[in-house]
Amino acid sequence: MDFFITIFNEALYRPIFNFLIFVYNVIPGRDFGIAIIIVTILLRILLFPLAHKALKSQKALQELQPKIKEMQGKIKNKEEQAKKLLEFYKENKINPFSGCLPILIQLPILIALYRVFLHGLDPSSLDALYPFIQNPGTINPTFLSIIDLSKPNYWLAILAGVSQYIQSKATFQKKDKPGQGMLNSDFSKSMTMSFLYVMPVFLVVISWKLPAGLPLYWVITMLFSWGQQVIVNKGFKKTLSTVDK
């Protein structure tokens, strides 16, 4: 276990912590909230190609749900159904599990950031700085001289939930015609309801007691993801309109 903790610290926690302190040192006024926003945006840009590919695959799967449902209705044998479904995914160049990849990548980053916000503001944690990173001595955890990011903030917790809802709403768009899209299968309806309503509420409850730096990170992440989802949705609309013509 100690081996994995060491790997985690050296591969994620320490680099993120050092980068955050570096940004904190160079920005005017040394605003810790602004530093978090900058680091979050840069992390999202770094993960952009991977996340964009996953969103495109997820959107393609959403658009092909009517055909998938039709195929499942025709083939009753479960083994044959699974075989045909895999062939269908291969023909359409879709990885049904690709949507999970950004979540799996984000989870260890979230854990690392949680540790940064929970312990990183302690002056003793600055011992983890690389030799080439300037030690600021003390860290002012305030955002815009108003919000203490080392303590829970109810407004940021609520905003994190709202941003999660907005991003989920962009992901699961209801179709104009009946019988189309992801919303028409029972399983998909259940998943959609979970992402649209359960996840935002869950996020608010969790963020309510966490250091405010974490919901701030989540708000920026969700807004970035929302923008990325809008780009993907527009790309699919153009493709579909071209095909219809």
Digit-coded pLDDT (tens) for 46-79:
877 777 676 666 667 767 777 777 776 777 777 7
Cα 78 from Cα 28, distance rounded (Å): 62
Please give the single-letter amino acid code of residue 202. Answer: F
Q: What average pLDDT is seen over the chain?
A: 77
For 217, phi then psi, to 5°, come to: -60, -45
Other C-beta atoms lying within 10 Å of the C-beta of residue 180: 14
The per-residue pLDDT for 37 is 92
Neighbouring residues of 165: CB distance < 8 A, sequence distance ≥ 6: 196, 197, 200
245 or 147: whose pLDDT is higher? 147
Residue 190 has pLDDT above 80, yes or no: no
The per-residue pLDDT for 194 is 65
Residue 174 has pLDDT above 60, yes or no: no
The helix/strand/coil state of 148 is strand
Cα 98 from Cα 186, distance rounded (Å): 21
- Please compute Rg for the chain using Cα positions: 21
Tens-place pLDDT, residues 24-42 = 999 988 899 999 999 989 9
Tens-place pLDDT, residues 123-157 = 778 888 999 999 988 888 889 888 998 889 999 99
Confidence band of 214 (pLDDT split at 50, 70, 90): confident
The per-residue pLDDT for 243 is 41
Neighbouring residues of 175: CB distance < 8 A, sequence distance ≥ 6: 181, 183
Chain centroid to CA 168: 10
Residue with tokens 């730096």: 213
The helix/strand/coil state of 87 is helix
Ramachandran sector of residue 77 (left: φ over 0; alpha: ψ -120 to 50; beta: rest): beta
The per-residue pLDDT for 193 is 64
Tens-place pLDDT, residues 85-103 = 777 777 776 666 665 666 6
Burial 196-215 (b: 16+ CB within 10 A, else e): eeebbeebbeebbebbbbbb
Cα 139 from Cα 96, distance rounded (Å): 44
The per-residue pLDDT for 120 is 67
Q: What is the DSSP letter of 129?
A: S
The per-residue pLDDT for 25 is 93
